[in-house]
Structure 1
C-alpha cells in the first residue's frame, strides 16, 4: 500500500493535465500512487491519460463536478495520506516529502497545507500574492468560523482517517465552495499545520464568468454553514459575503475597462444584492447603460468610489 495517494480530478483538461502529472512524477518523495478521475471530459483528455499507461490509475465517470470527482478518487485510492492537485496546477518537487513529514511527526495533526504562488495561465506570477490566512499556522475552529479561511485543495495533504470521518467533499457544492466547507468539517476532526515554504504553483483563471457562476454556490455554502454551525458562524457568513461583494466589484471594474458594460452590469446587480441601501452600488450599475465613450470619460470618478 502506498504511503500517499495523489488525487487529480480533470474535466476537459487535455491541455493542462500533463503539467500536473509531470510535477507529481518529479516529487522527491516516491512512495505514492496517482489516481486521475476523468469527470466526463469531452475533449482529448482520455487519449492523453491513456498515454501514461500503468503510471497512473484512471477512474472514468459521467460529469458530476469537482467534489464528486475527488470523492471517487479517494474511494479508488489506498494511501494512508491523501494529497490533491487540480489538473492546471503544479507542485514543486518537495511538496509530498515536506507534507508527509509533518503528518509522520505529529500523529495528532489531521491536515497539513503548503504555501502557494499564484500564476496566470501562462505561468507568470500574479501581482497580488497576499493571503488573509498568512498569519495563522494552525487555525482553531473558532478562528475558522470568525472569518472565511480558504486553502485550495492543491495545497493540502490529509490523513485518510480524517477524510473518512468528515465524509470527503460535499457533493451538493457542485459548482464551487466545496473546498471551504470541507476544511470546516475536517477541522472538526483534527487540527491543521502549515508548511511555510511555497510548494505549489496555483493557476488563476480570468474572473469572468467564473466569479459570477460562483455566486449561486456561495449562497448554498452560506446555508450549509448556517445549518451546521448556527450563530457561531455569523462572522464567517458576514466575512464571506463581504469578500464576494469585493470580487463582484473588482470583476465589474475590469469588465468596464474592457468595454463590456453588459457583463459588468450582471456583476453589479450582485453588488446591489449585497448592498441594497448603497447609493454607490446603484450609480455603478446605472453607469453601465451609458455609451462606452461616456463610461470611459467618467472612469476616474468610478475609481474614486471603489
Structure 2
C-alpha cells in the first residue's frame, strides 16, 4: 500500500494535466499512488490520460464538481496520507518529501502545508514574490479560535492531510462545486488536530482571470456563510465578518478594473454584489451608480474616482 495517495481532479484540462502529472512523477518521495478523476471532461482529457497507462488510475464520472471529484478519488485510494493537486498546478520536486516527515513525526498534526508561488497560464512567475506567498496572515499553525476569528486559508494543492482526519471530516462538502470547499474543509479538519507549515514555496499555483470567476463563486460564498453559522454559531462572527470584507475587496477591485477596461455592464454586476454585502454604504451605491454614467468603451482611470471612494 502506498504511503501517499495523490488525488487530481480534472475537468477539461487536456492542456494542463500533463504538467501537473509531470510534477508528481518528478517527486523525490516516491511511495505514492496517483488517482486522476476525470470529472465529465468534454475535451481531449481522456485521450491525454490514456497515454499514462498504469502509472495512474483514472476514475471517470459525470461532471459533479471539485468536491465530489476529490472525494471519489479518496474513496478509490489507499494511502495513509492524502495529497491534492489541481490539474493546472504543479508541485516542486520536494513537495511530498518535505510534508510526509512532518506528519510522521507528530501524530497530533492533522495537516501539513507548504508555501506557494503564483504563475500565469504559461507557467511564468507573476511579478516579484517573496517566499511568504501562500502563508495566510502570517499565522503558521492557527488555533481553532483563530480560525473562527478571521479567514485562514491555503488551497488544497498546498496541503497533505491524514486520511483518518479527512474521513472524520466527511471529506469535502459536496454542495460546494467550484469554490469555498477548501475553506470549509480546513475549519472542520482543524477540529481534529493542528496544522504545520513547511516554510518553502513548493507549489506553482496557476492564477486565472478574476472575471467572471469571482462573481460566479458568490452563491457558494453564501453557502459557506450558512454552513459556518450552522456549525459554529456566534463563535464564528469574526470569521464571517472577515470573509465578507474580503469578498467586498475582491469585487470592488474587479469592478474598478472592468470600468477601466470600458466594460460598465460587467462592472455593474460586480458592484451590485458589493451592495449585497454593504446595503447601507453610500460609497457602495456611488460606485454602482457611476457605471451608468460611463459611456460604453470609456476608459476611466482610478484617478477619476472621487477621493476616499
Q: TM-score, normalised by structure 1?
A: 0.96
The answer as to whether partners of 1:10 and 1:39 remain within 8 angstroms in 2 is: yes
For residue 254 of structure 2, what is the aligned residue in structure 1?
Answer: 251
For residue 300 of structure 1, what is the aligned residue in structure 2?
Answer: 303
For residue 106 of structure 2, what is the aligned residue in structure 1?
Answer: 106
Question: Distance in 2 between the 1:221 and 1:182 partners?
Answer: 10
Q: CA 1:303–1:75 in 2, change beyond 3 Å: closer, same or farther?
A: farther
For residue 158 of structure 1, what is the aligned residue in structure 2?
Answer: 161
The answer as to whether partners of 1:248 and 1:270 remain within 8 angstroms in 2 is: yes
Question: Distance in 1 between the 2:106 and 2:237 partners?
Answer: 32
For residue 233 of structure 2, what is the aligned residue in structure 1?
Answer: 230
Instruction: Quote how far apart the aligned CAs of 1:237 are.
Output: 0.3
Which of these residues, 197, 202, 207, is aligned with residue 205 of structure 2?
202
Instruction: Quote how far apart the aligned CAs of 1:128 are.
Output: 7.7
**Secondary structure of 1:186's partner?**
helix
**1:69-88 deviations in Å (ceiling 9; x for gaps):** 00000001100011000000
Question: Distance in 2 between the 1:218 and 1:249 partners?
Answer: 16
| Pair 1:77-2:77 in alignment | yes
**Secondary structure of 2:117's partner?**
strand
| Pair 1:140-2:140 in alignment | no
Q: CA 1:56–1:293 in 2, change beyond 3 Å: closer, same or farther?
A: closer
For residue 41 of structure 2, what is the aligned residue in structure 1?
Answer: 41
Q: CA 1:110–1:60 in 2, change beyond 3 Å: closer, same or farther?
A: same
Instruction: Quote how far apart the aligned CAs of 1:283 are.
Output: 1.6
Uncovered stretches (5+) of structure 2, i.e. residues with no partner: none
Q: CA 1:154–1:301 in 2, change beyond 3 Å: closer, same or farther?
A: same
Aligned residues: 306
Q: CA 1:109–1:297 in 2, change beyond 3 Å: closer, same or farther?
A: closer
Uncovered stretches (5+) of structure 1, i.e. residues with no partner: none
The answer as to whether partners of 1:40 and 1:63 remain within 8 angstroms in 2 is: yes
Question: Distance in 2 between the 1:299 and 1:64 partners?
Answer: 40
- Superposed structure 1 runs of 4+ greater than 4 Å apart: 128-132
The answer as to whether partners of 1:36 and 1:59 remain within 8 angstroms in 2 is: yes
Question: Distance in 2 between the 1:144 and 1:297 partners?
Answer: 39
For residue 13 of structure 1, what is the aligned residue in structure 2?
Answer: 13
Alignment RMSD, CA only? 1.6
Question: Distance in 1 between the 2:98 and 2:138 partners?
Answer: 20
- Greater Cα offset, 73-82 or 278-287: 278-287
**1:174-199 deviations in Å (ceiling 9; x for gaps):** 23100100000001111110000000
| Pair 1:183-2:186 in alignment | yes
The answer as to whether partners of 2:5 and 2:83 remain within 8 angstroms in 1 is: yes
**1:26-47 deviations in Å (ceiling 9; x for gaps):** 0000100100000000000000
For residue 24 of structure 2, what is the aligned residue in structure 1?
Answer: 24
For residue 123 of structure 2, what is the aligned residue in structure 1?
Answer: 123
Q: CA 1:297–1:264 in 2, change beyond 3 Å: closer, same or farther?
A: closer
Which of these residues, 265, 268, 272, is aligned with residue 268 of structure 2?
265
**Secondary structure of 1:176's partner?**
coil
Q: CA 1:18–1:159 in 2, change beyond 3 Å: closer, same or farther?
A: same
Instruction: Quote how far apart the aligned CAs of 1:132 are.
Output: 6.5
